[in-house]
Structure 1
Amino acid sequence: MSGSTDGRAYIGSFTSAGGRGVIAVTVDPETGALTELGATDAVADPSFLALAPGGSVLYAVSETEEGAAAAFAVTGTGAPRPLGEPVPVCGAGPTHLTLAAGHLVTANYGSGSVTVLPLADGGAPRPASGVLQHEGAGPHPDRQRGPHAHQVVADPSGRWLLAVDLGTDSVQISSVDAASGELVPHGETALRPGSGPRHLAFHPEGSHAYVLHELEPTLTVCRWDAAAGVLEAVGETAVLPDGVETESFASEVVVALDGRFVWTANRGHDSISVLALDASREKAELVTTVPCGGRWPRDLALDPAGRRLYAANEHSGDVSWFDIDQETGIPAPAGSFAAPAASCVIFG
Structure 2
Amino acid sequence: MKKLLITFLAYLLSTPIFSQNNFYVGTYTSTKSEGIYKMHIDVKNNKLILDGVAAKSDQPSYLAFSKDHQYVVAVNENSDNKLPGKDGQVSLFKVDKASGNLTFVNQVNSGGAHPCHVSLDDQNNVFVANYSGGNVGVFKIKDGVLEEKSSLVQYEGKGPRTNRQEAAHAHFSNYVAQKERVYTVDLGSDKVHEYKVVNGALEETNSIAITPGGGPRHLVWSKGGKFLYVLNELSCSVSAYAMSESGYELKEEISTLPSDFDKSKLNTCAAIKVSKDGKFLYASNRGHNSIVVYRIDQKTGKLKNLGFVPTHGDSPRDFSISPKQDFVVVSNQQSNNVVLLKRNKKTGMLEYKDEVEVPLPVNVVFW
Match of 1:28 among 13, 17, 42: 42
Which runs of no fewer than 5 residues in structure 1 stay unpaired?
none
Match of 2:9 in 1: none
Match of 2:94 in 1: 73
Distance in structure 1 (CA, Å) of the matches to 2:54 and 2:256: 36
Distance in structure 1 (CA, Å) of the matches to 2:128 and 2:272: 19
Q: Within the alignment, does 1:106 sit opposite 2:123 as a pair?
A: no
Q: Within the alignment, does 1:316 sit opposite 2:330 as a pair?
A: no
Alignment partner of 2:142: what SS?
coil
Identity %: 29
Q: TM-score, normalised by structure 2?
A: 0.88
The number of residue pairs the alignment matches comes to: 341
Could you tell me how far 1:36 is from its partner in structure 2? Answer: 3.0
Q: Deviations over 1:231-261 (max 9, x none)?
A: 4322111111112013210100111111111
Match of 2:161 in 1: 140
Could you tell me how far 1:158 is from its partner in structure 2? Answer: 4.8
Match of 1:340 in 2: 359
Match of 1:243 in 2: 260
Aligned AA (1:269) = H
Moved over 4 A (4+): 3-6
Aligned AA (1:210) = Y
Q: Deviations over 1:114-153 (max 9, x none)?
A: 100121212x311000000112110001110111110111
Could you tell me how far 1:320 is from its partner in structure 2? Answer: 0.3
Match of 2:251 among 212, 217, 234: 234
Match of 2:67 in 1: 53
Distance in structure 2 (CA, Å) of the matches to 1:91 and 1:141: 21
Match of 2:58 in 1: 44
Alignment partner of 2:312: what SS?
coil
Aligned AA (1:309) = V
Given that 1:191 and 1:233 are in contact with CA atoms closer than 8 Å, whether structure 2 keeps it comes out as no
Could you tell me how far 1:184 is from its partner in structure 2? Answer: 1.6
Could you tell me how far 1:24 is from its partner in structure 2? Answer: 1.4
Q: Deviations over 1:54-93 (max 9, x none)?
A: 2221110011222111111112315311112x21011111
Given that 2:114 and 2:133 are in contact with CA atoms closer than 8 Å, whether structure 1 keeps it comes out as yes
Alignment partner of 2:30: what SS?
helix
Match of 1:130 in 2: 151
Aligned-CA RMSD value: 2.1
Alignment partner of 1:48: what SS?
strand
Which runs of no fewer than 5 residues in structure 2 stay unpaired?
1-16, 80-86
Given that 1:93 and 1:110 are in contact with CA atoms closer than 8 Å, whether structure 2 keeps it comes out as yes
Q: TM-score, normalised by structure 1?
A: 0.92
Given that 2:21 and 2:322 are in contact with CA atoms closer than 8 Å, whether structure 1 keeps it comes out as no
Distance in structure 2 (CA, Å) of the matches to 1:161 and 1:30: 38
Q: Within the alignment, does 1:121 sit opposite 2:138 as a pair?
A: no
Please say which of residues 36-45 and 109-118 is displaced more in the overlay.
Answer: 36-45
Change (3 A) 1:283 1:6: closer
Q: Deviations over 1:170-217 (max 9, x none)?
A: 10112221x3x1222222210100010100111121111211111011
Given that 1:206 and 1:224 are in contact with CA atoms closer than 8 Å, whether structure 2 keeps it comes out as no
Match of 1:10 among 24, 32, 36: 24
Query: Which is higher, the Rg of structure 1 or of structure 2?
Result: 2
Matches within 5 A, 1:121-200: 121-122=143-144, 124-177=145-198, 179=199, 181-200=200-219
Change (3 A) 1:33 1:224: farther
Given that 2:18 and 2:99 are in contact with CA atoms closer than 8 Å, whether structure 1 keeps it comes out as no
Could you tell me how far 1:102 is from its partner in structure 2? Answer: 2.8
Matches within 5 A, 1:213-292: 213-224=232-243, 230-245=247-262, 246-292=265-311
Distance in structure 1 (CA, Å) of the matches to 2:46 and 2:197: 37
Distance in structure 2 (CA, Å) of the matches to 1:106 and 1:330: 32
Aligned AA (1:97) = V
